[in-house]
A and B are shown apart, each in its own frame.
Chain A
Amino acid sequence: MAAEDDFLEVRQPPWRAATRRLLHHRLFLLGLILFGMVAIVAILAPWIAPQDPNKLAMRFKFRPPDRDFLFGTDNFGRSLWSRVIWGARLSMLIGSSVVLINAVCGTAIGAAAGYFRQIDNVLMRVNDALMAFPAVLLAIAVTAVLGPSVNDVIIALGIVYTPRTARIVRSSVIVLREMDYVQAAVAAGAGHWRILRRHILPNALAPLIVQLSFLFAYAVLTEATLSFLGVGAVPPTPTWGNIMAEGRQYMIDAPWIIAIPGLALMMTVLGLNLLGDGLRDVLDPRLRVQS
C-alpha cells in the first residue's frame, strides 16, 4: 500500500488554486479592468480633475466634447469630465460603504439566524418583510425619514440590501453547521463562538464574496436612481444620477450631458457583474469541476 502512504506533493493553501483560476478567467479580468479604471479615477479625483466640478462658467455652457473639455460642459458651463470623476468618487464611496455595512450586519444576522435556530423565525420574517418592498421605494422611504444626504443614502441602502446578504449567509450556515467537522468541534467541547469563527464563517465566505460583488453593483445603480429622482445627495454635489437628471432636459441639443454619466454607470455595473460571475465560477463549489 505504498500509494496510500504518499500524498500529493502540492503544497498550497486552498485559496492559491482559486487565485490562479481567477487570473485565467477572461471575463473576470475584463470586469477587473472596467471596475479598476473607475476605482482608480475615483481615488485620484482631487488630483486628476482639471476643473472644479462646481465652478460655474456660463460662457462655456453646452460645449460639446473637445480639447479643452474632454467630456464637454453642462448647462452651467461646468466641466463634465470633472463632474463625472467626482461622481465616480461618490459612487465608489457609497458602494463600498454599503458593501461594508452588509458584510458586517448581513453576516451577523445571517449567522445568528442560521446557527441559533430559536431566533431564526423572528429574524427571517423581519427579513422577508423588508425584502418584500421594492428596493428603490424602500430606499426613498428611508431617505424621506432621514433626509437626503450622502450618509443617509448609505444607511438607506444598507437597510435595503442587508436582508439579502443575511439570507445568503444563513443558508450557508445552515448547511455548514451539520458538517461532521462542526460536530467534531462540538464533541471536542468547542463553544459557539469558536465554532462560528473557526469552522463555519471561513467556509461561508465564498458565496458571501460573490454576493457582495453583485451587491456593490446594485448599490451603485440604486444610488444613481435615487439621485436621478432627486432623493439622493443634494445638488450641486455631482453624482451620476443628478448629472443625468439635469442632462435629461437638454437630451436633444446636448446629448453628451446625459450619455457620459450613463456610460460611466454602465461600465461600473458591467465590470462588477463580470467580477461577480468570475468569482462565482471559481469559488462556488456547486459549479466547481473536481480536478
Chain B
Amino acid sequence: MTPLVEAVDITKHYDARHGGMFRAPAPPLRAVDGVSLSIMEGETLGLVGESGCGKSTLGRLLIRLLPVTGGTIRFAGTDISGLEGKALRAVRRSMQIVFQDPYGALNPRMTVEDIVMEPLVIHGAARDAAARVAEMLSLVGLPARARDRFPHEFSGGQRQRIGIARALVLRPKFVVCDEPVSALDVSVQAQIVNLLRDLQGELGLTYLFIAHDLGVVKHISDRVAVMYLGKVVEIAGKASLYQAPRHPYTRGLIASVPVTHPAQRRRGAGERHRLEGDIPSALNLPSGCRFHTRCPFVIDLCRQQEPVMTGGADGHLVACHRAQAIG
C-alpha cells in the first residue's frame, strides 16, 4: 500500500498574546509540535488524545484548513504544504472534513440542497449538480424531500448526514472526520459510524478519524495514533495497540475506558495505569519527555531527554524511554 497522506515533522505554533509593547514577546503556543505520520490509501487512521492535545489542529493542517508553521505535507506524493490559489483549490477537491458539532457545521440560512451543492458550484461542476446532490443525499440516507429544507428542521444525526453529504459530494479521496459522533446520542453514534464505514467501502475513501473515545476508534480504525500535547507518542495497528500498548499514556487511556461490569475493574493491570493530574500547558511544555509529569514510570532520563519514535518491523512505533523496561 502506498501512503496517500504523509506528514513530515509538521508543526503549528500560535503566537501567544504579546503583552503589548512593554513586555517581552511570550513563547509560542505549540499546538502541534513535530508530527510525522503517513496514512495509507484506503485505510482509517484513528487519532486519539485528551482535549487540547492538538488532534483537531493536526487534522486541519493535513487538509490545509490551517497553514503549517513548519514541516511538509504530501498528498498522493506531491508536496501541498506551500500551495496557494488555484493549485490549492484543485487539491481541496480531494480532501474534505466532517465536523463535530452538527449545529455549527451547517449555514442556517441555506437549504440542504444549497449546502450540499456549494462545493460542486465552486469547482465548476454545476451541469449535473442537482442530480449529483440527489444521489449524494440518498447515499447518506436522507429522503429526497430533505432537499429544500433548512438545517433547523433536522435532528443532530440527520444534520451530521447532511455534513457528510457535503464532504463527499466532490468524491474526495481523503476525509478528516473530526469527532463526527462525539456530539450525538449513543444510539445515533452507531448509525453514523456505520454510515461512514459503508461509504468508505463504496467510495474508496481514506479516513483520519479523530476521537477522544477509544471505543469508537477501535470500531472503525485500521491503525491508531495516540497524541499527547502536540506530539504523536504511539502509533500501531489496532490489535497491537489495544492488546499490547507500549506507551504509559496509551495504557492510561485504555485503563480509563469505563468497564461494563464492576468485577472487570479488578482484572489486569488497569489500576496501575490510571491517569492522574492534568495535561500541562502547551505554552510551557515540560522538559524531556512531555508526559513525564504524569508518568508512573518516570526516571531521570525522561526529565532530561525527549524520546524519539522507535519500533519494530511490525509498524508499532512508540516514543518512550521506558517502553522496553515496563513492557
Residues of A within 8 A of B (CB): 1, 4-5, 7-8, 10-11, 13-14, 179-181, 183-190, 194, 198-199, 202-203
Contact = CB atoms under 8 A, between A and B. Distances in A.
Contacts of B100: 180
Interface stretch (B29-37, B70-78, B145-153, B311-319): B145-153
B110 interface: yes
Contacts of A4: 155, 157-158, 187-188, 191
Contact of A187 (B92, B153, B157): B92
B187 to A, nearest CB: 7
A4 B190 CA distance: 12
Contact of B65 (A183, A198, A203): A183
Nearest to A15: B109
Contact of B119 (A7, A14, A189): A189
B149 A1 contact: no
Contacts of A1: 187-188, 191
B231 to A, nearest CB: 24
Interface string B69-111: 0000000000000000000110011011101110011111110
Contacts of B104: 179-181
Interface string B153-167: 111011000010011
B94 to A, nearest CB: 11
Given A11-B149, A183-B99, A184-B166, A189 B122 contact: yes
B118 interface: yes
B170 interface: yes
A11 B104 CA distance: 21
Contacts, number: 85
| Interface class of chain A by DSSP | helix
10 contacts: A4-B157, A14-B109, A14-B150, A180-B101, A186-B65, A187-B65, A189-B89, A189-B92, A194-B122, A203-B108
B63 interface: yes
A46 B280 CA distance: 74
B123 interface: yes
Nearest to B148: A11
Given A7-B146, A198-B110, A184 B92 contact: no
A174 to B, nearest CB: 15
A188 B99 contact: no
Contacts of A198: 107, 110, 118
Contacts of B155: 4, 7
Nearest to A13: B150
In the A-B complex, the 9 residue pairs with the closest CB atoms: A188-B119, A189-B89, A180-B105, A189-B92, A180-B99, A181-B107, A180-B104, A202-B109, A189-B122
Interface of B: 60, 63, 65, 88-89, 92-93, 95-97, 99-101, 104-110, 115, 118-119, 122-123, 141, 143, 146, 148-150, 152-155, 157-158, 163, 166-167, 170, 187-188, 191
Nearest to B158: A7
A188 B191 contact: no
A184 B180 CA distance: 14
Contacts of B123: 188-189
Contacts of A186: 65
Contact of A7 (B115, B154, B166, B188): B154
Given A4-B157, A14-B150, A187 B109 contact: no
Contacts of A190: 118, 122
A88 to B, nearest CB: 36
Contacts of B170: 188
A132 B92 CA distance: 45
A12 B226 CA distance: 45
Contacts of B105: 180-181, 184
Nearest to B146: A7
A188 B101 contact: no
A14 B118 CA distance: 20
Contacts of A7: 146, 149, 153-155, 158
Contacts of B119: 188-189
Contacts of A194: 122
Contacts of A179: 104
B153 to A, nearest CB: 5
B96 A187 contact: yes
B110 to A, nearest CB: 7
A194 B119 CA distance: 12
A121 B191 CA distance: 47
Nearest to A199: B107
Nearest to A200: B107
A14 B152 contact: yes
Given A183-B65, A187-B63, A190-B122, 9 more contacts: A7-B153, A13-B150, A14-B152, A181-B106, A184-B163, A188-B96, A198-B107, A203-B107, A203-B108
Q: Give the interface centre of B93, B109, B152, B191 by most chain A CB atoms within 10 Å.
A: B109
A41 B278 CA distance: 68
A50 B157 CA distance: 66
A96 to B, nearest CB: 26
